[in-house]
Amino acid sequence: MTKGEKAKSLFLEGYNCAQAVFGAFADDLSLDFEFAMKLSSGFGGGMGRLREVCGAVSGMFMVLDMKHGYTSPTDVESKKKLYSHIQNLAKSFEKENGSIICKELLGLSEKKSDPTPQNRTQEYYKKRPCAELVEIAANIVDDYLKNM
């Protein structure tokens, strides 16, 4: 199973976009799955349903952080290198999907402020590109890490 297939499967189980992408890499990152789900849980819906940066994109960034993040606030070179990689991932996702912004990917004209998640029904899945977006995001970050 590819990382993309794993992420899509997790999304279809009910995890949010960030959880699906980050969770697909939990074993590779030596993270307890439950911990990974808690850590990424607030990034769904474009960050708590604010419809900003797509949760799948946030999940990609979290995977990269775990592999190549920095820990010292004075390590400017590591920070610069990480931010360059983050920008490259964002460009790859945007090139393939047209945006990294949740509301744009969903075709919404304005932000949602209601924090209540929608029920995951068959109709929900038909209207939302999210399952495909998490698959794409997980494959992008997986390929990117393999080619670093």
| Proportion of the chain above pLDDT 70, given as a percent | 98
Q: Residue 118: pLDDT above 90?
A: no
**Average pLDDT along the chain:** 95
Least confident of 56-60, 61-65, 113-117, 118-122: 113-117
- b/e per residue 62-76 (b: at least 16 CB within 10 A): bbbebbeebeeeeee
Per the confidence metrics, is the pTM higher than 0.85? yes
**Whole-number Å distance between alpha carbons of 24 and 9:** 9
Give the pLDDT band of residue 77 (cuts 50, 70, 90): very high
pLDDT at 112: 64
- Paired tokens of 131: 């399952």
